[in-house]
Amino acid sequence: MGYLGVDVGSISTKAVVIDDAGQVVARSYLWTEGDPLAAVKRVLAEVELQAEAAEESVAAVGVTGSARELVGAALGAQVVKNEITAHAMGTLARHPDVQTILEIGGQDSKIILVRNGVPVDYAMNTLCAAGTGSFLSAQARRLNVPVEEFGAYALQSSKPTKIAGRCTVFAESDLVHKAQIGHPREDLIAGLCQAIVMNYLNNVGKGKEIRAPIVFQGGVSKNVGVVKAFADLTGEGIVVDEDGHLMGAIGAALLAREGEGRAAFDFATRDLEFDTRGYECGGCPNDCEVVTLCRAGEFLDGWGNRCERGLERAKKNVTTS
């Protein structure tokens, strides 16, 4: 039996298929590009071929990530789980002795403390995306360096430039200023890597006891410059799993395996036409922004309503238009 896990993040969409033993037999990682449903169709196409080759059919689906409700409804998932729990579960399955999980994704970052194999505390960034992957990609664009090569540049530096990482906008002014007075590019990039780590430790990690073994994951863990900055600033070894960027999807698949729901998943689901419609309820001055998901014109689910009336009106809106 195989279990499909899908993690639909703001920047990237991940899918894995695991077997009964929890081994990953199919994996895919693609950019979300602002269209989660289209991104899911693309990752499903990739994992379908790999799962077929491994002769695994999917018996249950788990979905996580910021688009989990939308994608969960579209795929008819058995488990729809928040990304914090999913990441903790995925990591614990592969690193049972972990005590601290550091996670930096496209728009969020989190820390999960684990003691004796159980998550005991966590924190997640609020209000602002400073100190996340988006911060790095914005600066990479400015320096005209592909974000994938960022880490390699950073490692060449022996004297990282000091850059204030408290706020993405201020960091950018700082970076521009330092570049204009002649700091070399590799020092600037290494400085940015340190700035993101400082920001992380002072915000998300504030007041938390970071104990080794430390596992660092999320898209940004692929950046060796940031890994080095974490190691330098914590004085500890940092473990980066080769599937670190897939950990949410792995966790979702494991939770699907653990749950009771079973329904053979047909990969042909990705050929179905889904469409979403946003609409302002207008039932009261709160004007909830309700989003509805339809499959071939048929109402599947809706979100964003504060009261039942919102969904009723949304349903009517779908059937009459």
What residues line the site for other proteins (CB under 8 A)?
Answer: 66, 79, 81-85, 88-89, 92-93, 96, 113, 115-124, 126-127, 206-209, 254-256, 258-260, 284-288
Q: How far is the CB of 204 from other proteins (least distance, A)?
A: 11
Of 95 and 183, which CB lies nearer to other proteins in the complex structure?
A: 95
Q: How far is the CB of 144 from other proteins (least distance, A)?
A: 31
Of 77 and 188, which CB lies nearer to other proteins in the complex structure?
A: 77
Q: How far is the CB of 301 from other proteins (least distance, A)?
A: 15
- Determine the Cα–Cα distance for residues 20 and 79; give it in Å rounded to an integer: 17
DSSP one-letter code for 265:
P
Of 154 and 215, which CB lies nearer to other proteins in the complex structure?
A: 215
Q: How far is the CB of 156 from other proteins (least distance, A)?
A: 37
Q: How far is the CB of 275 from other proteins (least distance, A)?
A: 21
Q: How far is the CB of 230 from other proteins (least distance, A)?
A: 20
- Determine the Cα–Cα distance for residues 292 and 304; give it in Å rounded to an integer: 9
Rg, C-alpha atoms of the chain: 21
* Residue 297, token pair as written in the block: 């014109």
Cβ–Cβ under 8 Å, residues 262 and 59:
yes
Of 152 and 167, which CB lies nearer to other proteins in the complex structure?
A: 167
Say if residue 213 is preceded by a cis peptide, omega within 30 of 0: yes
Q: Classify 146 as helix, strand or coil.
A: coil
Which amino acid is residue 64, in one-letter code? T
Of 11 and 155, which CB lies nearer to other proteins in the complex structure?
A: 11
Of 56 and 83, which CB lies nearer to other proteins in the complex structure?
A: 83
Task: Give the N- to C-terminal CA distance of the chain in Å, as an integer.
Answer: 42
Q: Which distant-in-sequence residues (6+ apart) come within 8 Å of 180 by Cβ?
A: none
Q: How far is the CB of 50 from other proteins (least distance, A)?
A: 24
- Determine the Cα–Cα distance for residues 222 and 201; give it in Å rounded to an integer: 18
Question: What is the chain's length?
Answer: 321
- Determine the Cα–Cα distance for residues 6 and 248; give it in Å rounded to an integer: 8
Of 8 and 256, which CB lies nearer to other proteins in the complex structure?
A: 256
- Determine the Cα–Cα distance for residues 87 and 40; give it in Å rounded to an integer: 19
